[in-house]
Chain A
Amino acid sequence: MKLKGKVFKYGANVDTDVIIPARYLNVSDPEELAAHCMEDIDADFTSKMQPGDIIMGTTNFGCGSSREHAPLAIKTAGVSCVVAKSFARIFMRNAINIGLPLLECEEAVEKTDAGDILEIELATGTIVNSTKNLTFHAKPYPEFMLELVSVGGLVEYTRRKIEARGK
């Protein structure tokens, strides 16, 4: 799968409270959550972004609460991928489980500016910054996580596991 979009870049420790503030957690509808995506760190995010655009953070992206509402809001808003130097672990699990692609790549984060266009090949982890004409290689997913991603997330993975047991 090839992804292409404009980069919205933020700093370190982008927490789940700024990705989707708790005042909106009294609903679980993905579309309603998406309407408030990134609201407390970038108030106009949803009006500025186009489907396919890419969020970039530095270290510990998605730290804080376990709320799956955070990756769900990002995915439903139309963000194609989040690239960071590192991710908080619950956010990483949640994103993988629901099929929001994440890539860890220090070099890409260091050499990319807000507004640059990235082209990403998920299977290989290749990131091309077409604005600056640079190519980066993200850390590959571990085999198990790749399997999870390739079947479309944890729900489908679990369904298949249960089906296999029944046979």
Chain B
Amino acid sequence: MTLAEKILAAHCGRDRVTPGEFISARVDVVLSNDITAPIAIREFKKIGVKKVFDPAKVIMLSDHFAPNKDIHSAEQAKILRDFARKQGIVYFELGQMGIEHVLLPEQGLVVPGDVIIGADSHTCTYGAVGAFATGMGSTDIASAMATGEIWMKVPPTIKFVFHGKANKWVSGKDFILYTIGDIGVDGALYSAMEFTGPAIDKLSMDGRFTMANMAIEAGAKAGLFRVDKKTEAYLQNRAKRPYTVYEPDEAAEYARVVEYDAASIEPQVAFPHLPSNTKPISQVGDVKIDQAVIGSCTNGRIEDLSIAAEILQWQRINENVRCIIIPGTQEVYLEALRRGYIESFIRAGAVVSTPTCGPCLGGHMGVLAEGERSISTTNRNFVGRMGSTGSEVYLSNPAIAAASAILGHIGSPDEIIN
């Protein structure tokens, strides 16, 4: 069995599961946020049970429109807060909260071998710690909050092997954008993606979170990594629960095996309006930008900010660009402050915000006008994603986004250094 199959079998009390079969799986974490929880709570109440199945396994927080951007979003957040307090579930208030998919691993709330479901499509991020994590809708969350179980179709697994060594300025973001550019936005539809190979072994945990995060952008149900020494080191002093490490069998059956040479991958830029519309940085051409966003559940971790700081230090943001930098959690924010990154960002002319999903989905904190362009370390560049339907979003890693903020057009840090 593959890694995904092993975890799912263990969660439905079976020795073996096969792709395509329907199972009812036990869940370890059930997550929802300020957009999806209000509907989940409404549907939960219709089911007719009084209490959630296990308050320690149900997590809610407001991050999309947090801090409340208007009266309507304040009311949504209040529904969630009132429910969380009444039920005694795990809840993060403003001041402790962060972007959910940066926060939960950081707090050790998701561990290897877990089955995690979240009413947020980027729940697949937790595959980086060797968990089976997948996004669902609010009604699924309501049902799981009531029963502790969820219906699932066992996905086939596609294995992605990254050989060789990554080039300079190439990160997990480039690996995953390259992959999506290769297989398309439905290239892994309904499947689990398993990432492996020498270049993955060398990849940092933050880089792995970025890759797992965007598995959904290839249509996948989950994106998984095997647990190694880096995972164990990350979990030490974090993991709030004991965990089980599952390994894929040597003879596991994969729907497909895709092999890439990391050395042939340049930093990638996804052009409007699909994450699969990628070009290597050398072929981007002259694309002027009005905004640069560095942050989100994809790239709002300390390594991302460290790369941005390396490039922005002693530089000035281009006078035609608004640069918005958003640490993913309070802990990331504090660490960036300690290391002097925040001062570098502000001196360069960037704005730094409290953790929020904000601009990624065109919520607040950096909405685009018609005709405007943003380079962004976020995950989607659909029509209207960051504001006006006449605006454009280009996806990249933090190094390219930071360099572009200085240059005023999409470019590489090498353009500044040279």
Contact = CB atoms under 8 A, between A and B. Distances in A.
B36 A68 contact: yes
B146 A158 contact: yes
Given A60-B185, A155-B46, A28 B147 contact: no
B384 A18 contact: yes
Interface stretch (A44-52, A92-100, A118-126, A127-135): A92-100
A162 B49 contact: yes
Contacts, number: 142
Interface stretch (B69-77, B246-254, B410-418): B69-77
B22 A142 contact: yes
Interface string B33-57: 0011011001100111100000000
A90 B189 CA distance: 10
Given A86-B186, A93-B136, A144-B22, A66 B385 contact: no
Given A27-B76, A63-B185, A18 B121 contact: no
A88 B39 CA distance: 20
A162 B142 CA distance: 13
B103 interface: no
A18 B46 CA distance: 29
A-B complex: 3 closest residue pairs judged by Cβ atoms: A94-B137, A26-B72, A68-B137
Contacts of B142: 154-155, 158
Contacts of B140: 93-94, 97, 154
User: Among B146, B186, B189, which residue has the most Cβ atoms of chain A within 10 A?
Assistant: B186
Interface residues of B, number: 52
Nearest to B139: A97
B126 to A, nearest CB: 14
A139 interface: no
B382 interface: yes
Contact of A21 (B76, B120, B362): B362
Contact of A41 (B49, B118, B147, B383): B383
A153 B380 contact: no
Given A22-B35, A89-B219, A155-B142, 10 more contacts: A17-B385, A25-B64, A25-B361, A28-B38, A60-B185, A60-B189, A65-B121, A67-B137, A148-B151, A162-B48
B384 A21 contact: yes
A64 interface: yes
A94 B39 CA distance: 12
A67 B135 CA distance: 10
B39 A69 contact: yes
A111 interface: no
A88 B146 contact: no
7 contacts: A26-B65, A40-B384, A59-B186, A71-B137, A89-B221, A153-B139, A159-B46
B260 interface: no
B189 A88 contact: yes
Contacts of A154: 139-140, 142-143
Interface residues of A, number: 43
Nearest to A85: B186
A23 interface: yes
B190 interface: yes
B320 interface: no
B47 A26 contact: no
A86 B189 contact: yes
A144 B123 CA distance: 25
Contacts of A153: 139
User: Among B138, B139, B147, which residue has the most Cβ atoms of chain A within 10 A?
Assistant: B139
A28 B361 contact: no
A17 B36 contact: no
B189 A18 contact: no
A26 to B, nearest CB: 4
Interface string A76-89: 00000000001011
B274 interface: yes
A22 B274 contact: no
A97 B186 contact: no
B64 A66 contact: no
A112 interface: no
A17 B380 contact: yes
A167 interface: no
Nearest to B119: A66
B353 interface: no
A68 B382 CA distance: 18
B151 A144 contact: yes
A40 B170 CA distance: 34
